[in-house]
């Protein structure tokens, strides 16, 4: 029997791959113990217990960015967090640690090293976070999703994906998906979404161009976001919903995706072999454009900058793409080559290898 400690959290980008690996470990050998290390404040505090895993709490200790009171208190708080994790490792007999970034990962890496326990790093984004940059320096193995992610000793393993995506048979589920959204399974569908909160830029561009997409013979399934108001168009071919709580069915129906390019989105769309037009979120450190870069180089996707995604650009670039069947087929083949559904299994293989070192 093996005891695993999976560390990470804060956002869905850290928690979801962690849970996918946890599920893969539990499914493989139910007698093994899978523990999760996280903070009280992160999304993991709700999602991990809901999935049936024990959550061990570590103090949230942000790295100081400027000289202030928090910086003065940081060393003592950091040592306390590392000590908390070392205690968990000893008391629970942890054999190997996996970190997925976030506040919980950094003390887990240091604690594992001091306790002589091997650890593995997984980085979901093309631009790595500080915890994983530091952790990769001494890791037994480092797995990345996007080729070119600058981490020491990194190897591409892909994104650990949700079971409903890994097991999705798009063709077999298409009729069910079409019925769920009130669309025709015999006609092609553009899926448009910008995350759970939506994306105003995408909403505004679609408001001025959906008729052109429909006139080209396509249907549109548009998730506008829970905080955005988008009026349902007077056409059965343009379906607007606030949120997609069955993303598997939405993907089963999608022949082309237009979306933001978060790491999970790019990984899932590529793994399912769906051509995409990505509109990277312009705020932040530019990681969304980097996330999509590999799919674009492979020919599986196109990028349109956020500021340029207007109704006119949809008409001049997206609508002609929808009318080019040969190009869409090339993009489908390219997406299938660049994406993988084996991310969770690949991370499990890194953990197995780390224990044999």
Res 234 pLDDT > 80: no
CA distance 313 to 285: 25
Mean pLDDT on 42-71: 86
Structural domains of the chain ordered from first start: 3-161+341-356 (3.40.50.2000), 164-338 (3.40.50.2000)
Q: Which of 72-81, 260-269, 302-311 has the lowest mean pLDDT?
A: 72-81
Q: Among all chains, which residue has been given the structure tokens 């069910």?
A: 176
Q: What is the value of pTM for the model shown? A: 0.91
Helices 12-28 and 343-356: crossing angle in degrees, nearest 10, is: 70
Q: What angle do CA 90, 13, 274 make, to 5 degrees?
A: 135
Q: Which residue has the higher pLDDT, 35 or 234?
A: 35
Q: What pLDDT is recorded for position 229?
A: 58
pLDDT tens per residue, range 267-323: 999 999 999 999 999 877 788 999 999 999 999 999 999 999 999 999 999 999 999
Res 72 pLDDT > 90: no
Q: Could you give the C-alpha distances from 49 to 15, 21, 37, in angstroms and in order? A: 12, 15, 12
Helices 287-298 and 263-271: crossing angle in degrees, nearest 10, is: 20
| Nearest C-alpha neighbor of 328 from the set 299, 291, 294 | 299
Q: At 251, is the pLDDT very low, low, confident or very high (cuts 50, 70, 90)?
A: very high
CB burial of 267-302 (b: ≥16 within 10 Å; e: otherwise) equals bbbbbbbbbbbbbbbeeeeebbbbbbbbbbebbbbb
CA distance 139 to 147: 18
For 124-214, list the strands marked E by DSSP: 141-144, 154-156, 189-193
How far does the chain reach from its first CA to its final CA, in angstroms?
18
Q: What pLDDT is recorded for position 98?
A: 98
């Amino acid at each position: 029997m093996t005891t695993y400690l999976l560390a990470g959290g804060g956002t869905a980008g850290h928690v979801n791959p962690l849970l996918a690996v946890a599920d893969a470990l539990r499914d493989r050998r139910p007698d093994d113990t899978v523990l999760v290390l996280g903070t009280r404040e992160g999304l993991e505090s709700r999602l991990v217990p809901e999935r049936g895993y024990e959550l061990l709490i570590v103090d949230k200790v942000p790295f100081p960015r400027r000289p202030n009171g928090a910086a003065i208190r940081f060393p003592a708080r950091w040592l306390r967090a590392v000590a908390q994790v070392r205690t968990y490792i000893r008391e629970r007999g942890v054999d190997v640690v996996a970190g997925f970034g976030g506040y919980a990962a950094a003390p887990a890496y240091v604690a594992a090293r001091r306790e002589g326990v091997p650890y593995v790093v997984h980085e979901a984004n093309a631009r790595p976070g500080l915890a994983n940059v530091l952790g990769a320096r001494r890791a037994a193995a480092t797995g990345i999703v996007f080729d070119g992610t600058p981490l020491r000793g990194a190897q591409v393993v892909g994104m650990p994906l949700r079971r409903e995506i890994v097991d999705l048979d798009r063709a077999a589920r298409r009729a069910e998906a079409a019925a769920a959204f009130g669309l025709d399974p015999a006609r092609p569908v553009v899926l448009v979404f910008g995350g759970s909160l939506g994306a105003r830029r995408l909403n505004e561009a679609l408001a001025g161009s959906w008729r052109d997409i429909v006139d080209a013979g396509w249907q549109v399934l548009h998730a506008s976001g829970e905080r955005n108001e988008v009026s349902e168009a007077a056409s059965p071919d343009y379906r607007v919903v606030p949120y997609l709580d069955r993303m598997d069915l939405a993907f089963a129906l999608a022949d082309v995706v237009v979306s933001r390019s978060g790491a999970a989105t790019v990984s899932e769309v590529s793994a399912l072999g769906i051509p995409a037009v990505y509109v990277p979120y312009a705020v932040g450190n530019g990681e969304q454009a980097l996330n999509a870069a590999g799919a674009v180089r492979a020919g599986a996707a196109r990028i349109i900058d956020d500021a340029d995604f207007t109704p006119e650009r949809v008409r001049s670039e997206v609508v002609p793409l929808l009318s080019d069947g040969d190009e869409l087929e090339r993009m489908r083949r390219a997406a299938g080559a660049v994406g993988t559904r084996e991310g969770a299994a690949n991370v499990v293989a890194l953990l197995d290898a780390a224990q044999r070192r």
